[in-house]
Structure 1
Amino acid sequence: MLWPLTGAFRLISPDIPGQAGLSAEVPPDRDGGYGRWLLSMLDGLGIERCAMVGISFGGAVVLDAIRLAPLRVERASLIVPAGLEISLWRTLKATLRPWLSYRWHRDDPHFAALMKPLMAEPWPELCQFYQAVLSDLHPPVRVPPGPFSAAELRHFDGAVQLVLARHDLYFEPEALEAAAREALPKLSDILLLDDSHIPGRNSRRELHQRVLAFLADSGR
């Protein structure tokens, strides 16, 4: 998703524990467990403070770390982030029928129908991951930490970038923006992509430019 950042920054992309089918399937405690894991990882890498980019579930992990240790996050780019707002009905309405159909048929056409609300433009590598996870009928992600309130994030004074998607499967963009404005007073850059939760190639090019511009003042 953000590979072009490596041209300008040292990019560390950790494997969040608790994601089905990956390295550590036992999730941390939702009450601070993800934030403590991220801060512990920084300690192990000898990183005292850095900019962070959180995508979807990763946005909630970044916010959990900000809640626990706000001085360790220089600035935060939050891309269609969890951790601020919950739109369960929006997700259920888009996925319930395709999910039930996939559970019954478990074939490629029904898998494609299930993925369409998530990514309007197929991304083969991600599709392979989801198909491997869903082949055992496991949920592809855990419940993220949050939602976090303004009181919980009040000590964070770093700049924040928010990226929204007009056709997001999980979050209604206006509600997510309102929640971010309330909880994060240093919200300085908002980008609305005319795309899905997982953006297509054209949207990713726009996303790369904006994230690079936002991080330009954060050092290397």
Structure 2
Amino acid sequence: MIYEHSHIKHHVMQQYEDYLRLFKDKVEREYVQTRFGRTHVLKLGKEDGKPLFIFHGANCLNPMTLSWFEGLFADYKIYAPDTVGHPGFSDERRINPEDDSFALWANDLLDYYGIESCAFAGVSYGGGIVLRLAAFYPEKINCAILVVPAGISPFSKWWTIKKMLLPFTLYQLNDSTKQIEAVADAMSAGEMKTIDREIIATIFQHVKLEHDLPKLTTTQELQRYHSPTMVIAGMQDVFFPENKLFQRAAPLFGDLLEWRAYNMGHFPSRKHIERMNKDMSDFLVRHYHLTD
């Protein structure tokens, strides 16, 4: 169990439902049985559009980071699964982020929907999931968008400790609004939405956090991967700083890489979300939308 109490789980599920009500698009929901447990999937967007799978970040709720892609909903059929073992409606069983487990999980979802290959996007931990798929089933990925991704550069422990350790520790000890505000500001360069702050406050205090990230991807693992890949970094990202991310991403992807860096934190502002959507849309038009 990842929740401190059953009433905490109920509260988190209600926060999830409240977030979905903010979406302008109709959201369909279904459960898919995978080898790692039952997976809750959100489906929305253009009914006859080309499929786009979006994996969310760790220690947050699927709709939070799904909302960052709202500019793509009109053109693509979106599949957004709740990651198993993370807060949400999927089974609470956590799986190994270092082997082929997440690749197999993603492949189970593709098989269920009858999708041979498609475009993928992942935020933070979700970016690491896309990279696990790229390592084991590269033929499944037509192109990829990785937003402030795990799985490329090491987690910046020094920078995170400097910016977040004290307020995070104090928040866990005394549930102080002041301290969670400091944590949220560090994660977002002061731009986190109120509803996101409220969800982060609940999860950080009352849910068993996921500390194990998808393994760092190697060039050897990507020898068979030949798909265009956009990486979006935050210059003020406390977890995966832009300069360290680029140092690893450039040799990892080579000519496949399209690089974007914005002056944002791990969570983007409204302004940066708009810019992201423009860049992501252009990328998909070039490498996916206009292809057979």
* TMscore range, shorter length: over 0.9
Alignment of 1:7-156 (within 5 A): 7-20=74-87, 22-30=89-97, 31-86=99-154, 87-119=156-188, 120-136=190-206, 138-139=208-209, 141-156=210-225
CA distance in 2, matches of 1:102, 1:36: 37
What is the CA distance between 1:137 and its match in structure 2? 5.9
Report Cα offsets for 1:3-33 as digits up to 9, x if no partner: 2211111111111112145532221122111
Question: Alignment RMSD, CA only?
Answer: 1.6
Contact 1:61 1:144 in 2 (8 A): no
Alignment correspondent of 2:280: 211
Alignment correspondent of 2:238: 169
Report how many aligned residue pairs link the two structures.
219
Structure 1, gaps ≥5 residues long: none
Residue 134 of structure 1 aligns with an amino acid whose one-letter code is: F
Residue 61 of structure 1 aligns with an amino acid whose one-letter code is: I
Contact 1:17 1:25 in 2 (8 A): yes
Contact 2:192 2:268 in 1 (8 A): no
Residue 215 of structure 2 aligns with an amino acid whose one-letter code is: G
Report Cα offsets for 1:25-82 as digits up to 9, x if no partner: 2211221111111111111111110011111111000000010110110011111100
CA distance in 2, matches of 1:125, 1:28: 28
Moved more, 92-101 or 69-78: 92-101
CA distance in 2, matches of 1:42, 1:166: 34
The structure in which a higher percent of residues are strand is 2
CA distance in 2, matches of 1:23, 1:40: 14
Which stretches of structure 1, 4 residues or more, deviate above 6 A after TM superposition? none
Residue 191 of structure 1 aligns with an amino acid whose one-letter code is: R
TM-score normalised by length of structure 2: 0.71
Structure 2, gaps ≥5 residues long: 1-67
Asked whether 1:5 is paired with 2:75, we answer no
CA distance in 2, matches of 1:45, 1:93: 44
Report Cα offsets for 1:157-178 as digits up to 9, x if no partner: 1111111100001012111111
* Secondary structure of 1:184's aligned partner: helix
Residue 29 of structure 1 aligns with an amino acid whose one-letter code is: N
Asked whether 1:192 is paired with 2:261, we answer yes
TM-score normalised by length of structure 1: 0.93
Greater relative CO (CA pairs within 8 A, separation 6+):
1
Contact 1:18 1:142 in 2 (8 A): no
* Secondary structure of 1:189's aligned partner: strand
Contact 1:83 1:146 in 2 (8 A): yes
What is the CA distance between 1:109 and its match in structure 2? 1.7
Contact 1:180 1:187 in 2 (8 A): no
CA distance in 1, matches of 2:207, 2:282: 40
Report Cα offsets for 1:141-199 as digits up to 9, x if no partner: 34221101000111111111111100001012111111111111233321111011100
CA distance in 1, matches of 2:182, 2:109: 37
What is the CA distance between 1:135 and its match in structure 2? 2.8
Inter-CA distance 29–188: structure 2 relative to 1 (3 Å threshold)? closer
